[in-house]
Structures are given as C-alpha cells and as structure tokens.
Amino acid sequence: MAKKLEDYVRTIPDFPEKGIMFRDITTVLQDADGFHLAIDSLKDLIKDIDFDVIAGAESRGFIFGAPLAYELHKPFVLIRKKGKLPAETVSETYDLEYGQATIEMHKDSIAPGQKVVLIDDLIATGGTMAAAAHLVEKLGGDVVKIIFLMELEGLEGRKVLSKYDVESVIKYPGK
C-alpha cells in the first residue's frame, strides 16, 4: 500500500514546549519518495491555477517552492528576512507571538500585474504569509493562491488569510 504524505511527517510531542505537537518535515525531505510525494502534492494544489511566478518564504518555503517552480517551469522569487537581499527591496513588518519580524523582497522580483502563488511549509497563525502577500501587492502583483504543505488548524491562520485562496496538503487539528 502506498504511503500517504502524513506517514513521512515525524511528530515530536512537547517541542518546543509542553503541549505542542511539533510537525517535523525533515523526515519528509530525507526520504526520496516522501520528498517526491510532497512536491507532487503541492503541484496538485495549483494544477488548475493560472499564474506567472512562485514566491517562497525563507527558509522552508525555498525547500518546497524551488523544486515546484523548476517542475512547472516558472520563476521562483525569494521572500527573505530583513537585510539578506543585496539589491533594492520592499519590506513588511508583522507581529509575532513575542515581538515583530520584517521580511523583504527585491523591488524588481514581481512585475505589476503578475499572478503569484505563495508557498511555505506550514500555516500556523498566518502572519508570515499575510506579510508576504502584502509585499507582492506593494509591487503590483496579484496573489492568486497561497499553498502550504501542512496546516495547524487550531491556530486559525486561515482567518488572517481569509481574502486569499488558501490550501494545504495536510491538516492537523490543534496547535
């Protein structure tokens, strides 16, 4: 019987703190079949979407976004933490549980009117992807879909992204 993607994800209880079920993607990546299934599953989420560019959030969005872009012959755009990109950037600051973070994109990475698919490994609170979507929109792009490998439904990140078409391969109840 073929394994499901969930079968490749390792769950570590009480990490990083008690009560948290940490969903570890390293076990997906270190298994060739698991990694292949992950990319194919993400590709299925956008098979009927008309888009120009895939943009991924640092760093696990790079891991899944780059091979997906390669497979679909689309450009791949980096969304990085502040201060990591060498050319002129646009930035967006967003709230974390304790404090704030800032992400950036190169000003020339998205052309006005381009249709963009955003990707990351996990949707938790939705803050990072909401900020990423705002960056795309600042550059004149149109976010046509946001995809994730995994979703922690108990953290209700979809509410933050409610104006976007959001899909995830695996949904976990709870946090």
Quick check: 166 and 146 in contact, CB under 8 A? yes
User: Per the structure block, which two tokens stand in for 40?
Assistant: 């194919």
Residues 38, 35: Cα–Cα separation, whole Å: 5
Residue 6 designated active-site: no
Residues 171, 55: Cα–Cα separation, whole Å: 22
Q: Which position among 60, 137, 153, 156 bears the catalytic label?
A: 60
User: What is the rounded (10 degree) CA torsion for 101, 106, 112, 117?
Assistant: -60
Q: Which position among 10, 17, 71, 97 bears the catalytic label?
A: 97
Q: Cis peptide before 59, with omega less than 30 degrees from 0? A: yes
Structure-token match 């012959």, residue found: 73
Residue 97 designated active-site: yes
Torsions phi, psi for 144 (to 5 deg) = -95, -15
Cite the active site residues. 60, 97
